[in-house]
Chain A
Amino acid sequence: MKTSQSTVQSGPAAGQAERTRSGQTYRPNVDILEQPEELVMLVDLPGCQGDQIDVRFEDGELTIHAPVAPRQPAGTRYWLREYGVGDFYRTFRVSEQIDSQRMHASYAQGVLTLHLPKVQSAQPRKIPVAVGG
């Protein structure tokens, strides 16, 4: 595994809860893959509604906020709880040049897939060498 702090920076480890203005949120697990033309992020967001996931990219900061409704009525009798249920929230600093107009995302099986296309100038380009006669 290669960890590049220079391209994408994130906060503390995943899975931990943190408090924000809007109450307690959870930090989702994330994979980020670098491809020649784009960065692809896979974000584990179990139990969300796809159309309520809010992804913003502004000044090189990517913010993911996914509301999660309670799954159990208040007063539920629990025997075991290994995870908390609440909104997911995470921010990243992306230094790679991203073409925000072409960003797109999809949500399936509890996973958000986010495509961050690089701007043309950030893509590796093969420069043809003209051979003179």
Chain B
Amino acid sequence: MSLIPWKSKRPAEDAGESSLVDLRREMDRLFDAFFRSPLEWFERGLTRWTEAFPPVEVSEEDEYLLVRAEVPGVDPKDVELSVTANVLAISGQKKESREGHEQGYLLCERQYGTFRREIALPVAVDAEHVQAECKHGVLTVRLKKARQAVGRRIPVKGA
């Protein structure tokens, strides 16, 4: 797989400053979002907006962790997953869907290129029991919690 740099149509920042600039932008956005609609901001709770692709969602069931990612325009064949006990790495490539690009764009908001994200998992998982599917641009990864991570009900004996 050839590596194509992740392209953003936003103006390029100085490489050394990019993380700070990103942080600043992120803060600006949160600030804006809060004042535009404080109610919505509170309703979202854990939601935080990020520039990282793909955006993910991590949720928990009794025996499973569920990681979802929105990957519109990514061919499932171009997605790679790797799992250790505490980290799920999602990498892949979002191909530009049309030839003759760079010219004739009236609007260009979608990003494309290679991506990689490492998601720290809140509990240890069993790397042998992972299922993944990608449907309509939504990747769903179901990871079985490691046995020691599943809460066990402990009966309490009376005297």
Name A residues whose Cβ lies closer than 8 Å to a Cβ of B.
1-4, 7-8, 10, 13-15, 17, 19, 24, 29-35, 39-40, 42, 44-50, 71-72, 76-84, 107, 109-111, 113
Contact = CB atoms under 8 A, between A and B. Distances in A.
Interface in B87-133: 97-98, 101, 104-111, 119, 122
Given A31-B108, A32-B106, A47-B70, A111 B55 contact: no
A10 B107 contact: yes
A79 B60 CA distance: 7
Contacts, number: 136
In this complex, the interface size class of chain B, counting residues with CB under 8 Å from chain A, is 35 or more
B31 interface: no
B141 interface: no
B136 A46 contact: yes
Given A42-B110, A47-B70, A109-B74, 8 more contacts: A1-B108, A2-B104, A24-B40, A29-B109, A30-B107, A30-B109, A81-B47, A83-B47
Given A3-B107, A35-B104, A47-B138, A83 B9 contact: no
A109 B73 contact: yes
B41 to A, nearest CB: 10
B137 A80 contact: no
23 contacts: A1-B108, A4-B106, A8-B107, A31-B110, A33-B106, A34-B106, A39-B106, A40-B98, A42-B110, A44-B137, A47-B70, A49-B136, A77-B60, A78-B59, A79-B46, A83-B55, A109-B72, A109-B74, A109-B75, A109-B137, A110-B71, A110-B136, A110-B137
Contacts of B106: 2-4, 7-8, 32-34, 39
B44 A81 contact: yes
A77 B98 CA distance: 39
A82 B50 contact: yes
Interface of B: 9, 37, 40, 44-50, 52, 55-61, 66, 68, 70-76, 97-98, 101, 104-111, 119, 122, 136-138
B39 to A, nearest CB: 10
A95 to B, nearest CB: 11
